[in-house]
Amino acid sequence: MDTQHPDLHPLFAAHLDVLKQRSDSALARGGFDHLVIPSGSLRYQFLDDRDYPFFVNPHFKHWLPVTKAPGSWIVYTPGRRPKLVYLQPADYWHVVPDEPAGYWVEHFDIVIVREAGDARAELPKDATRCAIIGEENAALDGFAPNNPRGVIDNLHYQRMIKTDYELAMMRVASKIGARAHRAAEQAFRAGESEFGIHMAYLAAARQTENELPYSNIIGLNEHGAVLHYHDLRHVPPTYSHSFLIDAGASFHGYASDITRTHAAAEAAEFQALIESVDAVQKNLAGQVRAGKDYAALHVDAHHQLAGVLRDHGFIRMSAESAVASGVSSVFFPHGLGHPIGLQVHDVAGFAADDSGKTIDRPQGHPYLRMTRKIEPGAVVTIEPGLYFIDMLLAPLKGKPQGRDIDWDRVDAFRKYGGIRIEDDVVCTSDSPENLTRDAFAALDKA
């Protein structure tokens, strides 16, 4: 298959066949005749007539690349073609969704409705025979989402394994994100503010903030120590020592999630630390193999990062002692990564099987987002980090382990905030496919 310019017609047809098979199994297990999925409805702000940005139901966009059609529905009955009830309102206040077109339309029976309520006549008559997956505000005349747990658990567990169509979408999302990251780095090197870097990113991605899969994290200097930093200062600091950017892109409903950390040209010691974390990240990404325990990989990341802390003179204890005592968690306080696909933090990361049973996080690691074993077709992020976070470092200073910390060296690095490096990695039957590194490499060749 040509991964650069794949023919989406056969890819989508095969993707839809997989969704039908999975849905048939889930419906049979739950005892339902139909799977019904609303795209979602607009929500309005409290005491106002302004709606919030619309974000489509991920179950809906799993079936077709339509993300801006509120009030629409998908109906799937085993053995039949899926039906799309597509709302195209008569509306001069808002942009009306485009006429359905593209590689996917031939696979659906499409019914156009002009009023949201008119969709009810196109849905199955007996709601009790339907697994209706969506938000409660999608309800129509007694036809309301019931979100049956058994059906959802089954579908979510299977969703971890991506089809070739989904991987094709994620490759494009990665390329868009990589291109925008390069523009953001150039803006940083030019002395832009966090806001200016953000705007450079949006322009290069050609996506609005609401089209991105998540809000950009763009932190200069010590702001890199705030894991979910979104303030976007409009004025650049007096001197930019470092830059951490965690930002992705969307394509046909699928997400990329990329993080890079950059040092100012004069920050040689911090650049050396970035390179050590990058080496750890590449080693961990190379371990995304079939059967690998993701939770064990997370613990391995702690040991490798503790080694980096020791090699760079921040701690005087062994890597093993740093992990066992919790010192590594002070510098690396989040999980190694998460599933990604239709959602940036995709579902079923803790699933033991398709019945709803889950796998607990390892003790002492409360923020890990995935504990299941990695299977071929799964896409996961690998994002180790090292940070200098005041509120975590302060308690450590008063503990016995604090005597094994070089506090002068730690203090010298607080101005840099932290380091995080993240790639999206596909588990295959052989060596992993690194969507992120491949996307940056393609830019370098262009």
What Cα–Cα distance (Å) separates residue 319 from each residue in 1, 298, 415? 44, 14, 25
pTM comes to 0.96
Tens-digit pLDDT string for the chain (446 aa): 455 667 999 999 999 999 999 999 999 999 999 999 999 999 999 999 999 999 999 999 999 999 999 999 999 999 999 999 999 998 888 889 999 999 999 999 999 999 999 999 999 999 999 999 999 999 998 899 999 999 999 999 999 999 999 999 999 999 999 999 999 999 999 999 999 999 999 999 999 999 999 999 999 999 999 999 999 999 999 999 999 999 999 999 999 999 999 999 999 999 999 999 999 999 999 999 999 999 999 999 999 999 999 999 999 999 999 999 999 999 999 999 999 999 999 999 999 999 999 999 999 999 999 999 999 999 999 999 999 999 999 999 999 999 999 999 999 999 999 999 999 999 999 999 999 999 999 999 97
| Domains assigned to the chain | 8-157 (3.40.350.10), 164-445 (3.90.230.10)
Q: How far apart are CA 348 and CA 299, in angstroms?
A: 20
Q: How far apart are CA 189 and CA 243, in angstroms?
A: 9
Partnered with residue 109 across adjacent β-strands are 83
Q: How far apart are CA 334 and CA 298, in angstroms?
A: 10
pLDDT digits (tens, 9 = 90+) for 248-293: 999 999 999 999 999 999 999 999 999 999 999 999 999 999 999 9
Q: How far apart are CA 338 and CA 320, in angstroms?
A: 25
Contact 365, 320 (CB under 8 A): no
Q: What is the pLDDT of residue 120?
A: 97
| Strand pairing report for 130-132 and 217-220 | unpaired
Partnered with residue 75 across adjacent β-strands are 36, 83
Q: What is the pLDDT of residue 446?
A: 79
Contact 217, 247 (CB under 8 A): yes
Q: Which two tokens stand for residue 127?
A: 């709601």
Of the candidates 155, 167, 135, the one whose C-alpha atom is nearest the C-alpha of residue 19 is 155
Query: What DSSP letter does each residue of 244-267 carry, written as one string?
Result: EEEE--EETTEE--EEEEEE-TT-
Q: What is the dihedral sign for C-alpha 348, 353, 355, 357?
A: negative
Contact 123, 36 (CB under 8 A): yes
Q: How far apart are CA 134 and CA 152, in angstroms?
A: 11
Q: What is the pLDDT of residue 3?
A: 53
Per DSSP, 321 falls in state H
Q: What is the pLDDT of residue 1?
A: 47
Q: How far apart are CA 63 and CA 65, in angstroms?
A: 7
What Cα–Cα distance (Å) separates residue 43 from each residue in 36, 62, 99, 149, 385? 21, 22, 24, 25, 36
Give every CB contact of residue 79 below 8 A, 6+ residues apart in sequence.
none
Of the candidates 206, 209, 185, 208, the one whose C-alpha atom is nearest the C-alpha of residue 197 is 185
Per DSSP, 41 falls in state -
Give every CB contact of residue 125 below 8 A, 6+ residues apart in sequence.
none
Contact 251, 169 (CB under 8 A): yes
Contact 403, 370 (CB under 8 A): no
Of the candidates 286, 209, 276, 288, the one whose C-alpha atom is nearest the C-alpha of residue 247 is 209
Q: First CA to last CA across the chain, in angstroms?
A: 21
pLDDT digits (tens, 9 = 90+) for 5-30: 679 999 999 999 999 999 999 999 99
According to DSSP H, which parts of 319-417 are helical?
319-324, 327-331, 390-397, 407-413
